[in-house]
Amino acid sequence: MVVATASLVACDAWAQQSDEELQKQLVNPVADIVTLPFQWTTNFDTGPFSKPQHTLNIQPVYPVKLGGGWSLINRAIVPLLSNPAVLPGQDRVNGLGDITYEGFLAPPPGSGGLIWGVGPALVMPTATDDRLGQGKWSLGPAVVGLKESGAWSVGALVTQVWSFAGDSDRPDVNAFSLQPIVSYRLDSKQSIGYIGIITANWDEKRSSQRWTVPLGVSYSLLVKPETFVPMNFVAGAGYNVIRPDNASDWFVRFQVNFILPK
């Protein structure tokens, strides 16, 4: 009965919002919307034995109003990993990876339509196995910017973190990531876009091993069941055109995003 009541409340909460506006909010990392995405990625031909690597990212987003139109957008990334062996005789290892928290301070949209937010990114050494994490506490800035024009939403989410504590026997962290945001709405419920995150390990002295640059495309479908919360389904695939040795070449991604009432 409680679940049914919550679902009906959620349906009523979103009934007055257009599908197109909801699609815009789903693309916007600092939108005033509570979401619970589950994102599955399979990276093919990973490691020295060319085995698949699997990641299930649970990525809750919860905004908090601060007054004056400003918001604090709380985002977390909780990775559940399945990594293949990297040495002969090793087994595949499964478990929790390092959890990341991002908190964006975001003002109300400006007159020019620019949407932005800035705040900290904190990576916590929560991995259940050394092969699933970096063993370091890492911290740095996170910045997001987004522009909406017609059916297009274009922007980027950028982070840079440095390790400041943790296992002294593990390598230091000096990591950059850039997540391009490119989405084109085909109609009120469907869109296509870019998927992939560009990363760099600045401590890697060999330039050929420093960058990972993916090129991928996704298809997104918004569904609003009558007796449940709205859901957004995303499917896509991509190719790492630049990558370190033993890194994956092709990847596929599937995501379901539950849109919850505040």
Query: Which domains, from first to last, does the chain contain?
Result: 2-260 (2.40.160.40)
**pTM recorded for the entire structure:** 0.91
Does position 4 have pLDDT exceeding 60, yes or no? no
Q: What is the pLDDT of residue 3?
A: 45
C-alpha to C-alpha distance for 214 and 127, rounded to whole angstroms? 25
pLDDT digits 0-9 by tens, 108-153: 876 567 899 999 999 999 999 999 999 999 999 999 999 999 999 9
* Terminal Cα-to-Cα distance of the chain (whole angstroms): 19
Ordered alpha helix ranges (H), 69-196: none
Other beta carbons less than 10 A from residue 111's beta carbon:
5
pLDDT score of 11: 53
- pLDDT > 70: percent of the chain: 92
Residues 6+ apart with CB under 8 A from 91: 85
Write the Ramachandran bin of 30: left for phi over 0, alpha for psi from -120 to 50, otherwise beta. Answer: alpha
- Average pLDDT value for the chain: 92
DSSP 156: E
Half-sphere exposure of 92 (CA within 13 A, CB side): 12
Give 255's pLDDT tier (boundaries 50, 70, 90). very high
